[in-house]
Amino acid sequence: LLPQELIRLKRDNQPLPAEEIKAFVQGIADDHISDAQIGAFTMAVFLNGMSREEVVALTTATRDSGHVMQWSDLNLSGPIVDKHSTGGVGDLVSLVLGPWVAACGAFVPMISGRGLGHTGGTLDKLESIPGYDPYPAPERFREVVKSTGVAIIGQTGDLAPADKRIYGVRDVTATVESIPLITASILGKKLASGLDALVMDVKVGSGAFMPTPEKSRELAKSIANVATQAGTPTTALLTDMSQPLAPCAGNAVEIVETLALLRGDRPNSRVMQVTRELAVEMLIAGKLAGSREEALTQLEKALTSGAAAEVFAQMVRELGGPSDFMERSEHYLAKADVIKPVYAEQAGTVQRIDTRAVGMSVVELGGGRLRNDASVDHSVGFTDIVEIGENVDSQRPIAMVHARSDAAAERAAEQLRAAFTIGEAAASADTLLQDTF
Ligand code: URA
């Protein structure tokens, strides 16, 4: 079919044959299809949706539009597993999870992203570590995954190149918010790393990428079903993002928290509960554990023995970071010039948090990007953020702000006060793990 004929079929709500979707996506990767045709196609999909079979075809075609990693030649002693998340605020899960499951025998080739909108980026956080190279040569990446069990790096140009063009067009044609397109975009990239199994963390709440709980749920189901049908067994967890997941948000500050968590501090914090649930799914899907109990036992051991922390240290070392990073992280991580408490205007209990606003405030402090090519200030952000249900008063601040200047700290403090609803009533956080698909 000519591209315009495929577009016409979708425009008229007719089914698209899988092999025609494949040819169209290959044409996008080869530059045979124009941006105008991509835009017309994505708008037709946005308006008319896609059948499950069509989304599977779009996903596999996107995955196969570039290099698909192979691991069989390395004779790894365990499964290749990974996690992906729709992103959040104070969401440092990847940094703990990758080393933790690697310490239990899994191999995790994690391709991560930079901050997007109000959400933080795992790569930006890792780049707080001097020397850490998120773009190793492909062969080096494979070596580190083999020797360490985990490597967290950035996306290379030959990974699902069709998605790069499609996403760029969607961004400027009001076609981002389509569950079939989001599913194929996320999975097309993720499945190109040659995984045996995947877990997906789909967020719900005021800091989530999806605008409503219903849409989050729909995306979670779509991803789990499409990935599994495309040949990669996938479980999707629906988890709470109605407040920052860790009590901090930023880059270096989240690395500090990561190290504490890997050392076994705060094992029952909200972020560790989510991380543990995802880890259990990964160990079971990768057949490293036969049951939830077995997985929990292995995870507990990997944490308390120091094995998980050692894997993180080795990953940092292998990817160019300091060899004594764990022992001397304070020496290596940038500190903000101004660190001060943010107090609420009245004493009371935290009722609600506008988590997106907290994330945007980190971006404005310089911890994220307002433009694609902007640089990130690794030192800024918030720490000691109170949770929903906790009390604040003139002694207990909402958070500590880390900023470049007094003026920036003051602006962020105003934004933070506006993002927190303080009241008289008792309040409790939403359930952390809301569903599994
Ligand atoms: N993230 C992606 O990679 N793709 C989308 O379409 C949305 C979020």
The answer to whether the CB of 59 is under 6 A from ligand 1 is no
Distance, CA of 291 to CA of 313 (rounded, Å): 29
Confidence of residue 156 (pLDDT cuts 50, 70, 90): confident
| Residues 339, 378 contacting (CB under 8 angstroms) | no
Q: What mean pLDDT do residues 223-227 have?
A: 98
Residue 105 — φ and ψ, nearest 5°?
110, 0
| Among the four given CATH numbers 3.40.50.300, 3.40.1030.10, 2.60.120.260, 3.40.605.10, the one describing domain 72-156+195-318 | 3.40.1030.10
Residue 190's closest CA among 284, 113, 290, 102? 113
CA–CA dist 60, 56 (Å, integer): 6
Share of the chain above pLDDT 70, in %: 100
Provide the β-strand partners of residue 80: 107
Q: Are 125 and 89 in contact (CB under 8 A)?
A: no
Give the span between the Cα atoms of 392 and 58, in whole angstroms.
49
Element of type H or E holding 351: strand 348-353
Domain with CATH 3.40.1030.10 in the chain: 72-156+195-318
List pLDDT tens digits, range 128-155.
999 999 999 999 999 999 999 999 999 8
The CATH 3.90.1170.30 domain(s) of the chain lie at: 334-423
Mean pLDDT of 222-238: 98
Contacts for 394-401: CB closer than 8 Å, 24+ residues apart = 394/343, 394/347, 397/341, 397/342, 397/343, 397/344, 398/342, 398/343, 398/344, 398/350, 399/341, 399/342, 400/339, 400/340, 400/341, 400/342, 401/338, 401/339, 401/340, 401/341, 401/342, 401/365
**Alpha-carbon gap, residue 92 to 133, rounded angstroms:** 18
Question: From the candidates 114, 118, 125, 189, which is the catalytic residue?
Answer: 189
pLDDT in tens, 395-414: 999 999 999 999 999 999 99
Residue of the CA atom closest to atom 5 of ligand 1: 182
Identified catalytic residue from 122, 128, 222, 349: 122
Q: What is the mean pLDDT of residues 417-421?
A: 98
Percentage helix, strand, coil for the chain under 3-state DSSP, each rounded to 5: 45, 15, 40
Q: Quick one: which of 15, 22, 110 has its CA closest to 63?
A: 22
E-strand ranges in 191-342 read: 197-204, 234-240, 249-250, 338-342
DSSP string, 380-428: -EEESPPPTT-EE-SSS-SEEEEESSHHHHHHHHHHHHHHEEEESS---
Q: Which CATH fold would you assign to the domain 334-423?
A: Aldehyde Oxidoreductase; domain 3 (3.90.1170)
Q: Which of 264, 270, 272 is nearest to 302 (CA)?
A: 264
**Which atom of ligand 1 is the closest one to the Cα of 182?**
6
Query: Per residue in 244-272, pLDDT tens?
Result: 999 999 999 999 999 999 999 999 999 99
Mean pLDDT along residues 207-229: 96
The active-site residue, picked from 170, 203, 217, 270, is: 170
Segment 105-127 mean pLDDT: 92
Name the band, by pLDDT with cuts 50, 70 and 90, for residue 100. Answer: very high
Among 114, 186, 203, 218, name the best residue to mutate to test ligand 1's pocket (greatest count of ligand atoms within 8 A of Cβ): 186
Which H or E element spans position 140? helix 138-148
Average pLDDT over residues 83-106: 97
Query: What is the mean predicted confidence (pLDDT) over 206-224?
Result: 96
Beta strands 108-112 and 150-154, pairing class:
parallel
pLDDT, the chain, mean = 96
403 touches ligand 1 (CB under 6 Å): no
Question: Is it the case that residue 238 has pLDDT exceeding 80?
Answer: yes
> Is residue 196 annotated as part of the catalytic site, yes or no?
no
Query: Is-catalytic flag, 122?
Result: yes
- One-letter amino acid at 406 equals D
pLDDT category, 115, cuts 50, 70, 90?
Answer: confident
Residue 371 has a pLDDT of 77
In this predicted model, what pLDDT tens digit does every residue of 15-44 receive, in sequence order? 999 999 999 999 999 999 999 999 999 999
Please give the pLDDT value at position 279. 98
Give the pLDDT of residue 116: 78
Residue 117 reports pLDDT greater than 90: no
Nearest CA to ligand 1 atom 1: 186
Q: What would the two tokens of residue 159 be?
A: 């990974």
Name which residue sits closest to atom 8 of ligand 1, judged by CA.
182
Q: For residue 374, is pLDDT > 90?
A: no
Q: Residue 372 above 90 pLDDT?
A: no
**pTM score, whole prediction:** 0.95
Mean per-residue pLDDT, 100-114? 96
* Nearest CA owner, ligand 1 atom 6: 182
For ligand 1, the distance from its centroid to the CA atom of residue 297, given in whole angstroms, is 34
Q: Give tens-digit pLDDT for 319-361.
A: 999 999 999 999 999 999 999 999 999 999 999 999 999 999 9
Count of CB atoms situated within 10 Å of the CB of 147: 11
Q: Is 406 exposed, middle or buried (0-12, 13-18, 19+ CB in 10 A)?
A: exposed
What is the value of ipTM here, to two decimals?
0.95
Residue 189 a catalytic site member: yes
Residue bearing the CA closest to ligand 1, atom 7: 182
- Ligand 1 lined by 153 (C-beta under 6 Å): no
